[in-house]
């Protein structure tokens, strides 16, 4: 793995800087010994034993190098390698600086007391992941973690934070050795591919996710976007051909810092300047695909390396010119070691010449490693468990794979988890080929405005149905949890996504319906006045006299007022008109019905008083009829007074009757009293109808009884139909219905009673004679 060669160059660079520093470890030079374990635990143990034994055979508990002054081991790119080496190095109390990702298992001071972790704690990585999910609206994601304490802790924190932000996990898969032992690669793969989430977060170290990496060699996660941490080196177990499967992967990497002088140091590194460095020689020949000139009998099929080649010519896929995350840990570790050693020597050996007398001081060094500030190098009296700093900022990288086995990682943004700050340039991101645009990863399609989310029983909160808001409510945002009630002066739009202001309305004269009703009432009142004029002009004719002309005058006047009273119901209501219109209508209608009642009684009594000396004749005088009308009207006026005195009609603005309108109307106040007033008129009409019906077969001279019967039948029919219709209508329709009932019932009385008489008076004057009436009256 060529890019790991930077780890060794970082050690060289840091050691050279320290040895040139006159204030840090004066008169002492640091050295190093490089052993390669090839990421194998067996070789890690063998190299550890070789280092402890010195040159020659690897003999346990025996050192062949009497001048062995090595103080510490920098190693453990993975926690597994660190644990393997610690089993041997710990026996000799040799501190081990582990520069890989921070692992909770290694922080166990009882089991691994001499391991010092240089990697930063990724305790805020789950917060960075949450910020990315929220930015791209990924609410339904999968999670693959290492089957260890670190993976479990990350999963726990991530789930808690996702719950707070309304996000859900589609699945959680743990990578363990059980997959390999049971040969369960395919089932494991399909458990990841099966769920509908398009985004998968992967957390773990290179070593802990080894089996997962091996699975990806055989199975590609098509249609999935991977979001990973830089602690997982996905290229460790992948061939060059397989790297294209990771195209578009999003990587969280701890913030890379520029190390001053490292670029200049690289310019000085060259195989000719470092002829003893066999690693540099191998690296040079591989990355430049050439052979160094000192090789004799050079094969003509291989070209010779040019002397002008430098690290600046190395492709980024082989070598990063800046200090990478792990290399940064190594750089910090070397300086930490130097400062700790400096403090230890000042404390343990006042004279630095005494150092050879203490060849094995490693067991004391760990204490000073924990007490030295890794940034400033100053001793801290409060010795802790080492720095293990928390990463405050993460770079967001995008992996891109190109043809000819070329791939790069491009920085597209950064995130500061604790401040909830995310800066990302979406245009710079190359998404996987399966996604032509930003991937979506949701369980349910978002609910548009006008709908609300309806949870599904037994399903996570991210899986839901969209339900249309009920009447009167709206939702003005996507994925609304609840619908909102519109204010009283507003109503929901047709789409139920916003509230619109209601229009103030009432039954106005200018409206078509109001115009028709007003014109009808006005015309009928004129017609009634005309009929009254005809009766007055022909008051001495037999037909007018025979039908009690004084009662006819009262009835015609009251009908005229009935028609005009309906106009009080039109126009914008006011508190005054609300009080006047119902009471006026009730009183004038009572006068009209009482007049009809008086006419009916007069007809009946006139028929029964034909015998000489009958006592009923005194009841036929006009004063009796007028008194009856007065008494009936007085009772209605008393009922109206009680109505006005207790709970009278009042002006109100009805915001509920019509969805999009505020209806200005009159509230009837006490409905009990209102219906008593209507009931009283109905009682008078029913009595009149009954008496007229009984007198319908009287001789033709008194044929007015038939007309009275028909008029009362029309009147009763209209108002009986009015009551249920009145209960079921609201707003302007209710007002129009009452006006219509007033006009129609009044017109029915006018036509049924007075149309035949006007016909005789105006068109058949020859029949309006006393002789004709006598002839009709004779048997």
Which 3-state string (H, E, C) describes 269-283?
CCCCCCCCCHHHHHH
Which tokens sit at 293?
């000139």
CA separation for the pair 418, 393 (Å, rounded): 9
Is residue 677 within 8 Å of 584, Cβ to Cβ?
A: no
Give burial (CB, 10 Å; 0-12/13-18/19+) of 198. buried
Angle at 348 between CA 345 and CA 349, to 5 degrees: 65
Same fold, 2-119+328-371 and 125-255+392-428: yes
* CB-based contact 719:744 (threshold 8 Å): no
Helices (H), 696-769: 704-728, 732-763
Q: Which two tokens stand for residue 621?
A: 């005088």
Q: At a CB cut-off of 8 Å and minimum separation 6, what does 123 contact?
A: 157, 390
Cα–Cα dist 479/446, whole Å: 6
User: Can you say whether residue 477 is alpha, beta or left, with left for phi > 0 and alpha for psi between -120 and 50 degrees?
Assistant: beta
d(C-alpha 459, C-alpha 439), whole Å: 23
What pLDDT was estimated at residue 483? 93
For residue 96, the tally of other CB atoms under 10 A from its CB is: 25
* pTM of the full structure: 0.66
Annotation: CATH topology of 2-119+328-371: Rossmann fold (3.40.50)
pLDDT, residue 459, reads: 87
As beta bridge partners, residue 399 has: 409
Whole-number Å distance between alpha carbons of 549 and 571: 36
Of 120, 102, 98, which Cα lies nearest the Cα of 254?
Answer: 120
Distance CA 732, CA 573 (A): 11
Paired tokens of 280: 């540099």
Supply 130's token pair: 């949450």
- The pLDDT of residue 359 is 46
Please, are residues 334 and 327 in contact by the beta-carbon 8 Å criterion? no
Closest C-alpha among 643, 548, 640, 549 to residue 588: 640
Tokens 């009922």 correspond to 639
The whole-number mean pLDDT for each consecutive block of 10 residues of the chain, a chain of 779 residues, reads: 82 92 87 82 85 73 61 82 88 87 83 86 87 94 91 93 93 85 76 87 87 80 89 76 85 77 87 84 88 63 81 78 76 89 75 47 75 60 52 85 78 90 92 90 90 88 91 88 89 90 86 89 92 86 77 88 88 87 88 85 65 54 80 90 88 80 84 87 86 67 68 83 80 85 88 84 72 49
d(CA 649, CA 670): 7
Q: Are 9 and 49 in contact (CB under 8 A)?
A: no
How deeply is 626 buried, as exposed, middle or buried, from its count of CB atoms within 10 A (0-12, 13-18, 19+)?
A: middle
Determine if residue 422 is left, alpha or beta; phi over 0 gives left, psi from -120 to 50 gives alpha, anything else beta.
Answer: beta
Cβ 695 vs Cβ 605: under 8 Å: no
**CB < 8 Å & 24+ apart, contacts of 186-194:** 186/219, 188/215, 189/215, 189/219, 192/142, 192/144, 192/221, 192/224, 193/221, 193/223, 193/224
Integer Cα distance of 37 and 84 in angstroms: 11
- Which superfamily does CATH assign the domain made up of 512-777 to? Rhodopsin 7-helix transmembrane proteins (1.20.1070.10)
Pair 44, 96: CB distance under 8 Å: no
The values of phi and psi at residue 485, to 5°, are: -80, 130
Separation between Cα atoms, residue 114 and residue 95, nearest integer Å: 5
For residues 399 and 246, is the Cβ–Cβ distance under 8 A? yes
Sign, CA torsion 308/309/313/319: negative
- Any idea where the domains of the chain sit in the sequence? 2-119+328-371, 125-255+392-428, 451-501, 512-777
What tokens were used for 234? 């996905």
Q: How far apart are CA 591 and CA 560, in angstroms?
A: 11
Q: Give whole-number Cα distances, 36 to 1, 39, 80, in Å.
A: 12, 8, 15
CB atoms within 10 A of CB 28: 15
According to DSSP, residue 351 is labeled S
Domain 125-255+392-428 has CATH 3.90.25.10: no
Cα–Cα nearest to 214, from 196, 248, 239:
239
Q: Tell me the CA end-to-end span of the chain in Å, nearest whole number.
A: 136
Phi and psi dihedrals of 409, rounded to 5?
-115, 120
**575-608 helix and 732-763 helix, angle to the nearest 10 degrees:** 40
Q: Which residues neighbour 295 within 8 Å (Cβ) at sequence distance 6 or greater? A: none
CA-to-CA separations, 356 to 53, 68, 125, 360, in angstroms, rounded: 18, 9, 46, 9
């Amino acid at each position: 793995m060529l890019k790991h060669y930077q780890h060794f160059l970082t050690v060289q660079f840091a050691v050279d800087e320290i040895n040139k520093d006159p204030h840090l470890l004066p008169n002492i030079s640091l050295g190093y010994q490089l052993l390669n374990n090839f990421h194998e635990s067996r070789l890690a143990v063998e190299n550890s034993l070789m280092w402890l034994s010195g040159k020659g055979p690897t003999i346990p508990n025996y050192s062949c190098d009497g001048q062995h002054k090595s103080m510490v081991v920098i190693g453990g790119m993975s926690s597994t390698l660190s644990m393997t080496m610690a089993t041997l190095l710990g026996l000799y109390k040799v501190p081990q600086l582990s520069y890989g990702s921070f692992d909770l298992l290694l922080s166990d001071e009882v089991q691994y007391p001499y391991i010092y972790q240089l990697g930063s704690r990724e305790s805020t990585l789950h917060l960075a992941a949450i910020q990315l999910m929220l930015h791209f609206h990924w609410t339904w994601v999968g999670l693959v973690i290492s089957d260890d304490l670190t993976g479990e802790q990350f999963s726990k924190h991530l789930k808690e934070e996702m719950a707070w932000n309304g996000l859900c996990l589609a699945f959680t898969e743990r990578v363990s050795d059980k997959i390999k032992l049971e040969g369960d690669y395919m089932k494991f793969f399909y458990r990841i591919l099966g769920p509908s989430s398009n985004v998968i977060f992967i957390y773990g170290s290179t070593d802990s996710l080894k089996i997962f990496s091996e699975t990806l060699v055989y199975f590609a996660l098509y249609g999935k976007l991977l979001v990973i941490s830089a602690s997982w080196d996905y290229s460790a177990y992948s061939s060059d051909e397989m790297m294209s499967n990771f195209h578009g992967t999003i990587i969280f990497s701890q913030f890379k810092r520029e190390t001053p002088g490292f670029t200049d140091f690289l310019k000085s590194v060259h195989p000719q300047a470092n002829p003893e460095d066999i690693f540099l020689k191998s690296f040079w020949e591989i990355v430049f695909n050439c052979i160094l000139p000192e090789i004799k009998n050079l094969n003509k099929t291989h070209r010779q390396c040019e002397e002008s080649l430098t690290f600046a010519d190395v492709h980024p896929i082989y070598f990063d010119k800046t200090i990478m995350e792990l290399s940064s840990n190594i750089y910090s570790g070397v300086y930490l070691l130097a400062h700790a050693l400096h403090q230890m020597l000042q404390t343990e050996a006042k004279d630095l010449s005494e150092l050879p007398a203490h060849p094995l001081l490693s067991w004391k060094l760990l204490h000073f490693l924990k007490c030295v500030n890794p940034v400033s190098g100053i001793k801290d009296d409060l010795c802790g468990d080492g720095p293990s700093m928390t990463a405050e900022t993460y770079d967001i990288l995008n992996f891109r794979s190109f043809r000819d086995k070329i791939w790069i990682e491009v920085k597209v943004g950064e995130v500061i988890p604790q401040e909830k700050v995310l800066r990302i340039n979406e245009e710079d991101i190359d998404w996987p080929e399966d996604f032509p645009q930003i991937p979506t990863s949701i369980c349910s399609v978002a609910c548009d405005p006008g709908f609300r989310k309806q949870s599904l029983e037994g399903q996570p909160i991210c899986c839901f149905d969209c339900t249309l808001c009920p009447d009167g409510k709206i939702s003005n945002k996507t994925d609304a949890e609840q619908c909102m009630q519109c204010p009283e002066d507003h109503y929901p739009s047709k789409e139920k996504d916003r509230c619109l202001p209601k229009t103030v309305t009432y039954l106005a004269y200018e409206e078509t319906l109001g115009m028709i009703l007003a014109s009808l009432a006005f015309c009928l009142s004129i017609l009634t006045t005309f009929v009254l004029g005809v009766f007055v002009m022909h008051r001495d004719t037999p037909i007018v006299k025979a039908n009690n002309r004084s009662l006819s005058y009262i009835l015609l006047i009251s009908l005229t007022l009935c028609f005009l009273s309906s106009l009080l119901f039109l126009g914008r209501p006011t508190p005054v008109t609300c009080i006047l219109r119902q009471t006026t209508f009730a009183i004038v209608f009572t006068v009209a019905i009482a007049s009809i009642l008086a006419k009916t009684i007069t007809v009946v009594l006139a028929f029964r008083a034909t015998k000489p000396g009958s006592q009923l004749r005194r009841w036929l005088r006009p004063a009796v009829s007028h008194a009856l009308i007065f008494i009936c009207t007085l009772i209605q006026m008393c009922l109206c007074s009680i109505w006005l005195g207790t709970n009278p009609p009042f002006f109100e603005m009805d915001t509920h009757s019509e969805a999009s309108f505020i209806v200005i109307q009159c509230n009837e106040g006490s409905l009990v009293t209102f219906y008593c007033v209507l009931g009283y008129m109905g009682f008078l009409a029913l009595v009149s109808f009954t008496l007229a019906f009984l007198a319908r077969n009287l001789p033709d001279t008194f044929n007015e009884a038939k007309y009275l019967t028909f008029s009362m039948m029309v009147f009763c029919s209209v108002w009986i139909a009015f009551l249920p219709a009145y209960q079921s209508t609201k707003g302007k329709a209710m007002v129009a219905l009452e006006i219509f009932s007033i006009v129609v019932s009044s017109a029915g009385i006018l036509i049924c009673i007075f149309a035949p008489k006007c016909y005789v008076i105006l068109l058949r004057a020859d029949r309006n004679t006393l002789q004709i009436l006598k002839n009709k009256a004779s048997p």
